[in-house]
Chain A
Amino acid sequence: MTIAVHTAGPVGAAPLGSRPPGRRRTAVAGWLFLSPALLLFLVFVLGPFLAAIALSLFSWDMLTPAHFTGLDNFGKLLRDPLVYKALGNTFIFAFASVVTHLIGGFLLALGVNSLRNRVLSYFVRTSLFFPFVISWAAVALLWKYVLDPTFGIFTYYLGKIGITSPAWFIDPHWALPAIIGIDFWHTIGFTFVIMLAGLQTVPRQLIEAARSDGANSRQVLWNVTLPMMSPTIFFAAVITFIGAFQIFDPIQIITPDGGPDNSTISIVMYLYRQGFNAFQVGYASAVSLLVFAVMMIVTLLQFWGSRRWVHQA
């Protein structure tokens, strides 16, 4: 009971004045401990979120007074073909990112986990994770050089084997796949580390028991490892999707105009352009709420679907 009271204290279940001095001090201390996180949440999350909701009901260019427009921004959103284009690109990118990262990360983790040589294992782990610590700006510029259609290293070696390199970032068919590939190179290390950690939590006894029952490696993987890894895979799927859906940096740097035929424009990039290039802050806020809604719905669907395949301990 005491624990329950202490826990509830900071949340303010009862007026402070009605509590004994000791409990009040405890409650104050609780609020003090909570305050930094609470303040950050209020200022940088809840506040902007509420502001976005309010702004979405106005027309505002940042220089002149805002005008209340009701739901006009949302109506415009539904009629804006570029929103659908941006959403489509973003879903393609997110889907490709989730699939490639889960499969790639899992396979890499399996491979590294099977390495017997510790030094080699550490080297491979570090190498795989290293790109993730490089800033997106540097990665984007690096790949612009590598894939330069005239002077790029990749272009050069493709030419050596008789393949004409496409103009990666100016060909509407290749621009988005190129960015998906660059994203994979940059962020696979993070998924790999998560997968490796999950892999190492699979109880060895279960694997040994399966083997002693005559299961081969494939059967162990399919019937033991994967089910035990499912919570980790689910976690990786959720955060990879959320991260991918907010893709902005590499696209803004590599194809700042949204690519040929808007083939790379993402929904967050579109949001940015509406807010800070077109100065339609109200409309940009409406787009941001759309992004929020889509991400929430997809994440809820992922949780709903997870009950069918994620192993519950």
Chain B
Amino acid sequence: MEPIEGTSVPEPSTSGPHNPLNRRSALRLFGAAAAAVPIGGLAAACSSSSGGNTSSSAAGNTAASSTAGGATGSSAAGGSASAGGSSSAGASGGAGGSSSGGGSSPAPEDVSGTLVMAYLGDATQQKAFQALFDEFNKTYPKVQVKATGIAAGDWGTFASTISTQIAGGKVFDIVDVATEGQLLMSSKGVLEPLDDFIARDKAVVDDYYNDIDPHLKEWSAKYGSPDGKTYFIPGGYNTVCMYCNTDVFSQAGVDLPADTWSWDDFFAAGQQIKDKTGAFMLGIGYGFPFVDIMPWLLTNGASTLDADWKNPTLGTPEAVAAATFVKKMLDAGLSPKPGGAFDAASQYQKGKLATLGGGRWPTLDIRRLKMVDKTQIVPWPMQTKPGSPAGWDGWPIMKASQNKEAAWAFLKWIMSPDASKFYAQVGGTNVPARNSVASSSVFTDDAPKGTENLMKAITYATPIPSPARGTEVQNVITKAWQAAILGTSSVQQAFDNADSQLKPLL
């Protein structure tokens, strides 16, 4: 499985060790070996949700409540609960809320209890999340949030940690799930369908969906649910663009692309930069597909899997051409050789590296390195079409949750403009799902010029392929890419072998 792009977490180096900056990458494994590039930071995105089903009714509300084990809920469904209901019983319900689905939501002050959450995040991210939870408590003062930030280097590690804890009897109310884990989680039957809650608070949810890119809702429905029910509310997302060191480009006499640039433009720029300044054009790796592999494939109309994630497509001529081009750049010395400990961030700061690939997360590193004014974000160079992978956070409620009402209260709150703005302000590592926030100064201030390209990319992006056996799939893909670009086998042979290995995993 690929690194988490969706969560907001700083990444380890993406492809590895190179970049201490990213965490995601690590996951990539960890580093992989790769050497690569991007800094990674957090990943990304938030979720999408399915959207869908907003159809439920009052009855649905009740059902949701009851399943939740107690959520009390609402009046329409029968019963009102007393304010402040206890957590263990489930949420409290009560007064308050409104709703169109039939039941009514309890007022914020009537929701109480403990909310056990888990998310992927290192120490820095944990501060941002904690600030977010504190802000939530201003609206819901009776809900005690017990959140665990798991500093995993990648989604696979995060998923195994969560799974191990669940197997050990730990009960979570909410687990922040990146794209890579959404189908896995929903297909295991451990998530609570959200349709009844959505129906009950239709106005809130509709307001949210009306302000996010429609792709997020569509993708969540398609890729985050095996049965048509809604399991995730989308959060922020990440796409991939290129961070360019303007000093290096300037010294080499290379103009930054105004809007788009081709692979040939990129290669020529890399050669000129290398000749004039000695700097590498980019760090090429293979351990973090979200940045190392997918952008090259997608900008040539290829991908690792088909749109349904049912068939491998690495052996296509377009995919082979993409890897061949990357190998050409590596052979031309436009990147340090993968497999070492190249520190992309520090080299970028020193002017020894011209570009970094990534989503929103490198911006945090760029700020730390005081390179905001010397950086411009541009779209990934393309061959046949613009392309970028997309990953987004998904916020589900766990089926075993003992306090589903409070969990839904948090999900509702996270959809609010205030929450979105606040998270962007405190250093969120993804693009806010709400377009109104992503295009506002809250998001673009203190960020490199061209930050809006990250948001634009969602319009042409492709969801990062994340089948249920994603970790195994990713392992096959990274190995094939590694063999292809390092020349340990021919590109076509490496990809054909990968396709044959991927088929039984899908």
Contacts and interface: CB of A to CB of B under 8 A. Distances in A.
Contacts of B471: 273, 277-278
A249 interface: no
Contact of A148 (B163, B340, B472, B486): B340
Contacts of A260: 479, 482-483, 486, 488
Interface of A is mostly: loop
Contact of A278 (B17, B185, B339, B469): B469
Interface in B478-499: 478-479, 482-483, 486, 488
A63 B166 contact: yes
B228 interface: no
Contact of B340 (A64, A152, A276, A278): A152
A257 B287 CA distance: 8
B190 A63 contact: yes
Contacts of B482: 170, 257, 260
A61 B338 CA distance: 34
Interface string B181-222: 000010011100000000000000000000000000000000
A168 B488 CA distance: 13
B58 to A, nearest CB: 32
B475 interface: yes
B342 interface: yes
B340 A150 contact: yes
Contacts of B16: 256
B340 A62 contact: no
A150 B17 CA distance: 14
A208 interface: no
Contact of B163 (A63, A171, A258): A63
Contacts of B342: 148, 150-151
B353 to A, nearest CB: 12
Contacts of A255: 32-33
A172 interface: yes
Chain B interface size, under 10 / 10 to 19 / 20 to 34 / 35 or more:
35 or more
A141 interface: yes
Interface string A244-277: 0000000011111110111000000000010111
Contacts of A258: 475, 479
A88 B56 CA distance: 57
B33 A256 contact: yes
Given A63-B166, A260-B482, A145 B160 contact: no
Contacts of B167: 62-63
Given A63-B163, A144-B17, A279-B160, A257 B341 contact: no
A136 interface: no
Contacts of A151: 336, 340-342
Nearest to A140: B17
Interface in A154-174: 167-172
20 contacts: A61-B188, A62-B163, A62-B164, A63-B167, A63-B190, A144-B17, A144-B340, A148-B341, A149-B336, A170-B337, A170-B486, A253-B31, A255-B32, A255-B33, A256-B16, A256-B32, A261-B488, A277-B160, A277-B471, A277-B475
Given A148-B339, A170-B33, 4 more contacts: A149-B339, A255-B32, A256-B32, A277-B1
